[in-house]
Structures are given as C-alpha cells and as structure tokens.
Amino acid sequence: MKCRKCGAKASVNMHQHKLALCKEHYLEWVPEQTERFIKKYQMFKRGDRILVAVSGGKDSLSLWDILVRLGYQVDGLYIGLGIDEGIGYSSESHRLAEKFANENNLNLHIVDIEKEYSQPIPVLAEISHRGHGKPCAVCGLTKRHVMNRIARDLGYDVLATGHNLDDEAAVLFGNTLSWSGEYLLRQGPVLPSTDGLARKVKPLCRFYEREMTAYALLRGIEYIYEECPFAEGSTSIYYKELLNKLETDRPGSKLTFYLRFLEARQSGLFVEHNVAADGDLPTYLHPCPNCGQPTSAPGLCSFCRLMEKVKAESNAL
Ligand code: AMP
Ligand code: FES
Ligand code: ZN
Ligand code: ZN
C-alpha cells in the first residue's frame, strides 16, 4: 500500500476513508483534519484560552499535542482520581501527563481529588452507595464537576476533552437504544457555554480510536495503555465491541452512524421543548445554590449532595 500524497510506503491505511498515508503525511493529515472540524463546528477561535482535560491516555495527550502544533493557546488539566488498583493506574497516568507537559514546556494544572475532597474516588463511591459497587458513576460526576470548576475559576473560554469517534458512537448507541431525548439533544461536538460554565468541545470526535492510536505512536507520545481497572465489563466497552463488529463487516458504518445523527440533530429532529435564550440555562436546569453549576436535581447538585454525605460520614466517625 502506497501513500496517496507521495507514493512512499504507507504507514496507516484507513479503509473507511479509502486513504493510505506515510508517517510524515499522516502526521500532517491529523492536525489538518482537526482544524477542519474545529472550524466546521465553530469550536473556538485563535486567541481563545483553551483548557484540555488530560487523562494520560492517547486521545487527550494527542489532542493537546495537535492543538499546540496548530498554534492554539492551550493549558492542561489532570485530575488525580486516586485509583491505585491494578498497575497503579492513577500514579502512572499522572506521571505521563506531567512528563508530556514538561517535555513540551506546557502548563498543567493538577487537581488531586483526595487532597481537595478528603477521599479518593473509590472511597467517595463507597460512601455514596451509588453505582452498584463500581466507582464509575461517582468518578464521572466528580470529573465533570472539577473540569467545570477549574475552567470557570481560572477564566478559560473552552474546555476540550479527548473523546474520539468510538467513544461518541458508543454513547450515541446507548442513548438511541433507550431513546434518551435529553441526552441525544445535548450530545454533539460542542456544548455551548451556559451561565458561567465554559463551552465544552470534542475536537477528536470524528477520528476513529485506531487513528488516534496511530497518531500517538507515530508522534512518539508516551501514554498509558491500560484502561481504568474499573472499566472492565462496562456497558460502553460492550457497545464499542458491537460497533466494531459492524465496522469490520461494513467499513465506515461507525462514522456514518455518528455523522447522520449530527445531521438529523441539526435539522431539528430532536427539538428542545424548554427553549432557552442564548447562554441561559434550559428551564429544567437551575444553578446549584452551593457551587453554582447547573443541575436538574431539586436543591443541591448531585456533586454537592455527595460532599454533604462525605462530611456527615466523617463527622460521625
Ligand atoms: P473517559 O471518560 O475516561 O473516556 O475520558 C474522556 C475524556 O475525559 C478524556 O479524553 C479526557 O479528555 C478527559 N479525562 C478523563 N479522565 C481524566 C482525568 N483523570 N483528568 C483529566 N481529564 C480526564
Ligand atoms: Fe473513573 Fe474508571 S472509575 S476512570
Ligand atoms: Zn507520503
Ligand atoms: Zn453544587
């Protein structure tokens, strides 16, 4: 297989795009495509202050690398979850996020959950009794809260995450199976800013996971290969496997599934019934009286309720 641009031996062959590229041209193609998506979905402009949430994995580190190469002004945020099961998942991902920042002279904010909220994620999850013995729900809730807080408190315009096409297609598949209207409405490459919350963007949402793996490897980015030890057996991994089977038989179907959804959403298939003015919260959300982040729960948001529980437990000891 030969590179379409220069005829040299191809390093990456993308059946779904009917495109093969050599290392050099692949490493040009990925940022060019990313820039195209940033413009197409109006994610951000040059001069915006961008915060990229980095987990130490291939997607978010590659995203940081790409945005820097494209000349954007972008800092990183690493959230230390305190998950030291398995290979020491959190300490290893922390090390790799820091290594990348140091080697590239970039600014990385670090939030250690245990230091700031008195307990690591697995203990917070136990205290909350949510998630049937798995910490993933509490972990997701906490990460979202911290990302929003840091982006707002430090005055970033945009919060970027490394979600790729495989992630987005799996979430979409789940939301479609249950026809979760509210979630379908909010799933997309951009979540506009509301009431003091930075806008959220996913610049890698059109890249297949294997394309990001190829980018990280060819760029020589050292990243954590292991998944979080609690991810095993999760529904999202199961959906990813199903979609991969489909993709093997019909190359391109994952991308089509996602892109057709975006088109349908754009054309108004999912209509917001609680329409809000630009920048305001939809009427089913209100700011949490404690932290100010939007919530649909009556009274405090789920994160602040979790913190109340943690406080009550430690007072009881
Ligand atoms: P995940 O939910 O683990 O699939 O991660 C999705 C995205 O969330 C990643 O691409 C990162 O941008 C961000 N993220 C996940 N874990 C962390 C973390 N510990 N610290 C900062 N950002 C994270
Ligand atoms: Fe949060 Fe696994 S439980 S990353
Ligand atoms: Zn080439
Ligand atoms: Zn709150």
In a domain, 74, yes or no: yes
Strand partners for 12: 21
In a domain, 302, yes or no: no
In a domain, 294, yes or no: no
Q: Distance, CA 135 to ligand 2 centroid (Å)?
A: 7
Token pair listed for 95:
């090390």
How far apart are the C-alpha atoms of 87 and 83, rounded to whole Å?
10
In a domain, 206, yes or no: yes
Task: Work out how many domains the chain is built from and give that number.
Answer: 1
In a domain, 113, yes or no: yes
Q: Distance, CA 235 to ligand 2 centroid (Å)?
A: 13
- pTM of the predicted structure, to 2 decimals: 0.94
Looking at residue 277, its pLDDT comes to 54
Q: Which residues contact 226 (CB under 8 A, 6 or more apart)?
A: 86, 87, 89, 92
Provide the Cα torsion 52, 55, 60, 64; round to 10°: 50
If phi > 0 it is left, if psi is from -120 to 50 it is alpha, else beta; for residue 105 that is left
Domain limits for position 190: 45-281
Q: Which of 230, 232, 234, 235 to mutate to test the pocket of ligand 2 (most atoms within 8 A of CB)?
A: 230
In a domain, 25, yes or no: no
**End-to-end Cα separation, the chain, in angstroms:** 66
In terms of DSSP bridges, do strands 294-295 and 286-287 run parallel, antiparallel, or are they unpaired?
antiparallel
Looking at residue 85, its pLDDT comes to 81
Residue nearest atom 3 of ligand 2, based on CA coordinates: 136
Q: Distance, CA 33 to ligand 3 centroid (Å)?
A: 16
Read off the CATH number of the domain in which 169 is found. Answer: 3.40.50.620
In a domain, 315, yes or no: no
The amino acid sitting at 134 is K
Q: Which of 100, 116, 161 to mutate to test the pocket of ligand 1 (most atoms within 8 A of CB)?
A: 161
Q: Distance, CA 55 to ligand 1 centroid (Å)?
A: 5
Q: Taking a C-beta distance cutoff of 8 angstroms, is the pair 160, 51 a contact?
A: yes
Q: Is the CB of 124 under 6 A from ligand 2?
A: no
Q: Is the CB of 136 under 6 A from ligand 2?
A: yes
Q: Distance, CA 72 to ligand 1 centroid (Å)?
A: 20
Residue from 111, 148, 137, 157 nearest 293 by CA: 148
Mean pLDDT of each 10-residue bin along the chain, 317 residues long: 97 95 98 98 97 98 98 98 89 98 98 96 91 90 97 96 98 95 90 88 98 98 94 94 97 97 88 58 81 90 94 81
Atom of ligand 1 lying closest to residue 228 CA: 3
How far apart are the C-alpha atoms of 124 and 59, rounded to whole Å?
27
In a domain, 298, yes or no: no
